[in-house]
Structure 1
Amino acid sequence: MSNREAMCPVWHVRPTVQPVWEAQGMTVLIAGCGDLGTQAGLYFAEAGQRVVGWRRSADKLPARIEGTSVDLTGKLPAIPADTDVVVIALTADGRTEAAYRATYYEGTANLLGALARDGVEPRRIIFVSSTAVYGNDDGGWIGESTPPAPSTATGTVLRETEELLTERAPQSVLLRLSGIYGPGRTRLIDQVRNGTAHAGGAPHWTNRIHRDDAAAAIVHLAGLEAPATAYLGTDQEPALLAEVRQFIAEELGLPVPPIEAPTEEREVTGKRCSNVLLTSTGFTFTYPTYREGYRAVLKGVGVRHL
C-alpha cells in the first residue's frame, strides 16, 4: 500500500454484499449510449441481459445492443414493459450551464415522465454523475459522506438532476465518476508527446477511472441487492497531475518534467476521492491505478465507441 493510500480516511460503509441479478434475461435500457454507455451495454449483454440503447445515431451501436435513435429531450419511444434496469449515461453538447441543463436535467425529467407514461417501474435506475458535485479544492479527501457543494454552474445542474432522481425515483443509484480516460482518450498523452504538458503551477491532486472500470461499476451496481444511494467511482490512487505526466513521459521514453513540491506559497489544490464504499461491495478494478490504465492505453488495448 502506498503512503497516499494509507492516508485515505476510512469512511462509514455498509457490509460487503455480493452482486445478484434478480431478473435474468430482462431488459436493460441505456439512455445515452455513447462510449461509456456502449461499453456498459456490452458488459450487460455478456451477463445475459437484453440491452436497448438510446442515442441520437443508433446505427453506430454494436449488434449486441438494440439501438434506437432518440433525442432524450424530445418525444420518447415506448419503454419495454420488462425493463429491469435503466442506466442514464448522458453527454452534454458543450460545457455550458445551458447545455448541461438541456441534456442532464431536462433529459432525465423527460425519461422519468416516459417511465410514468408507460407504467414501467424498473428495479434500479443508475445515474452517471460526476465528482464535480463536490466543490472541494483544498487537497483534502472526500467520500460519500461529504456534503455535495458544487462550485461550478455545470456541477450545480448535475446536483439538481441527482436531487430530481432521488425524489422521484428512490430506487436510483448515483455513480459519481472522477475523470474518465481509456481507449481513444489521449489528451494528456498528446500533451506529453507534443511538449505542451508543463509542470508549472500549483501542485494539483487529480482523480481518474478507466472507461472499462467505470462501465463495469455500472453493471456491478445494477446487480447489488441493497445498494447505497451514491458511490464515488474512482480508482485506488489519487495522484498529483505532475506525477501522472512524469509516468507517461517515462513510458514514452521522453524527457521527464520535474514535479513542483508544495510549499507555503504553493499549496496543493484539487481533491482526493475515496472509493472505499464502492470496493466494500466487492467491486474490483481491472486498472487499479493510472499506471496500469495508461500502459493499456499506450498499448492500444480496447476501442472507443463513437
Structure 2
Amino acid sequence: MTILLAGCGDLGTEAGLRFHALGHRVVGWRRSPAKLPSAIEGVAADLSAPELPPVPADTTAVVIAVAADSPSEDAYRASYVDGLTHVLDALERDGVQPGRVLFVSSTAVYGDAAGGWVDERTPAAPGGFSGRVLLEAEQLIQARFSGLATTATSLRLGGIYGPGRTRLIDQVRNGSAVIPEDVRYTNRIHRDDAAAAIVHLTTMAARPEATYVGVDNDPADLGTVLRFLATEMGLTEPPAGDAGPARGGNKRCRNSLLLSTGFTFTYPTFREGYRAVLAGTGIRHP
C-alpha cells in the first residue's frame, strides 16, 4: 500500500512514521520535504497552488492534514478549502481512486454547546470562521466522492497537545494562567493518539463512517486541568478570575464512535498525557 500524506507537518509526520512501521510506502507532500525523516518519501508541494506533483499510481489511501498559515479566515480558506480542492483535483487529474481519503478536521465545527455533550449525530453549528471553513471542507470532500468507491472520512480532532504543543503548561509556568470562574469544559487529544487514530481509521478492516470525533476520554473542566499542571510542576495554583472567552466554545465531546472501532488510547485522559509531556521536558516536579 502507498499512503499519500497531503500536508506533512508535525501530526502528518507522526502518522507517516506509524504507517511506515506497519510496512506501507509513505509519500509526504510538504513545502520543505528535506525536513521529513527518511521513512517518508518527501515531495515538494505547496497545496495552495493548483498544480501539484503527480499522485503515485498505486496510492491506496490519502490523508489530508493541512494547517493554516495564520489565524485568519483567508488563511483558513486557502489551506482547508483551496488546498483540499487542489488535492482532490490532482487525484482526478491523474486518474487515481484511493480506497480511503481522510480529512483532518476539528471539533470547532460544533461551536458552543453551553457545556452539553456533542457527538457525530449532533448538528454542526460553528460559532466562528474556523469552524465554518472546516465544515465547508468536510462537505466538499463528501460531495466529491459521493457515489464513488472511495470512502471519505473527516476526523474532528479536539485541541492537540504533546511535544512542542505546551500552551497550557507554558501559561502555568509563566504565571499567565487564569482559572475561569465558571465551569468551562475542554476537549483534547495527545498528538500521538491523534496520529494513531488517523492510521487506525485509514487501515482498519471495517469501512469507516463519514465522521469521527477524535478526543480523549475526559472532557475536563479547564480549572481542573490547570490545577493538575500546577501540582505536577510544584507551582502555586493559578488564580481564579476572568479568563476571557472560551477557546472553541464550552462543550463536552463524546468519543464513543471512535472507541467502537476498537481504537485504544495511549493517553486516555489529560493526566497521563501531560505527565508524559512534562517528563519529556524535564520540568515535572518529583
Q: Give the TM-score normalised by structure 1.
A: 0.85
Aligned residues: 268
Query: Residue type of the partner of 2:233?
Result: L
- Matched letter for residue 88 of structure 2: L
Match of 2:177 in 1: 197
Say if 2:231 is the partner of 1:256.
Answer: no
Q: How many angstroms does 1:169 deviate by? A: 1.9
Paired letter, 1:57: S
1:52 to 8, 27, 30: 27
> C-alpha distance in 2, partners of 1:93/1:287?
29
Corresponding letter in the other structure for 2:209:
A
Identity fraction in percent: 60
Matched, 1:31 2:6: yes
Deviations 1:118-145 (A, max 9, x none): 0000000000000001013300000000
Q: Structure 1 residue 202: deviation in Å? A: 2.8
In the alignment, does 2:254 pair up with 1:278?
A: no
Answer yes or no: is the 8 Å Cα contact 2:102–2:154 preserved in 1.
Answer: yes
Alpha-carbon distance between aligned partners in 2 of 1:186 and 1:288, rounded to the nearest angstrom: 18
2:74 pairs with 1:67: no
Identify the match of residue 101 of structure 1 among 49, 65, 77.
77
Aligned to 1:127, what secondary structure does the other structure show? strand
Structure 1 residues 188-218: Cα deviation after superposition (integer angstroms, max 9, x where no partner): 1011011110114432100000000000000
- 1:92 CA drift (Å): 0.4
Alignment of 1:142-157 (within 5 A): 142-157=118-133
Q: Given that residues 157 and 213 in structure 2 are in contact (C-alpha distance below 8 angstroms), is that contact kept between their aligned partners in structure 1?
A: yes
Runs of 5+ unmatched residues, structure 2: 242-248, 282-286
Equivalence map 1:209-248=2 (5 Å): 209-224=189-204, 225-248=206-229
Kept in 2, the 8 Å contact 1:243–1:259? The answer is no
Cα offsets for 1:238-277 (capped at 9, x unmatched): 01111100000000011123678xxxxxxxx700000000
Task: Provide the C-alpha distance between the structure 1 equivalents of 2:198 and 2:266, rounded to a whole number of angstroms.
Answer: 14
Normalising by structure 2, we get a TM-score of 0.91
Alignment correspondent of 2:244: none
What is the alpha-carbon distance in structure 1 between the residues aligned to residue 113 and residue 236 of structure 2? 30
Match of 2:245 in 1: none
Q: Contact between 2:180 and 2:222, CA under 8 Å: does it hold in 1?
A: no
- Aligned counterpart for 1:139 among listed residues 100, 104, 115: 115
SS in 2 for 1:205: coil
Partner of residue 83, structure 1: 59
Q: Which fold has the larger relative contact order, with Cα–Cα distance below 8 Å and residues 6 or more apart in sequence?
A: 1
1:9-62 CA distance string (max 9 Å, x none): xxxxxxxxxxxxxxxxx1100011000000000000000000000111000000
Cα RMSD over matched residues? 1.3
Q: Runs of 4 or more off by more than 3 Å in structure 1? A: 257-260
User: Contact conserved, 2:81 with 2:133, CA < 8 A, in 1?
Assistant: yes
Structure 1 residue ranges without an equivalent (≥5): 1-25, 261-268, 302-306
